[in-house]
Structure 1
């Protein structure tokens, strides 16, 4: 499948594509990277920590990055991290708020088209 062709139309829309392929590494390598990610996170390098946590698939780290994004008002970025974690408990309230917004937009569009 040509992913660039399929997903190319979404370029520049700040979207995300979830993949399941992670580099192969043993448990000790993962643990070392996760420790480094935790150090980066605690020192304020959230983006550096995010990259490591995405690479290792460290759910707790991804969820904490999501919490940080949420505290900064970056709900879509938070949702991405919660989704990747996966942390459905934290993702669900954001999904519910977004669904209300989408419903309102659809309703407004229907009202405009009826006028």
Structure 2
């Protein structure tokens, strides 16, 4: 499974639907056994130029782990929503920054116990 980053730009007139879409999106990913790593709401930002007759957009960034076979189907489904202006996506190769610090400390402790047992 690969780690993907998706930045979704919503139409600023449909801010009401954003929270519902994010809840639906989380449930969809969890239902299909995908792992959500990070969710960032960047908020309402101005564009440098007009995109689809819009000067502003609400930005949301999502980082998740998904099987590559389902990713294209997933993108087609997300693009079908009328209140989404643009979608940018990329594959992330380095994902060490996404490990939670508590989880990282547990991994280190387990490795230390294993090393002590072998000595």
Q: Taking structure 1 as the reference length, what is the TM-score of the superposition?
A: 0.30
More strand as a share of residues? 2
Question: Relative CO higher for 1 or 2, CA cutoff 8 Å, sep ≥ 6?
Answer: 2
More helix as a share of residues? 1
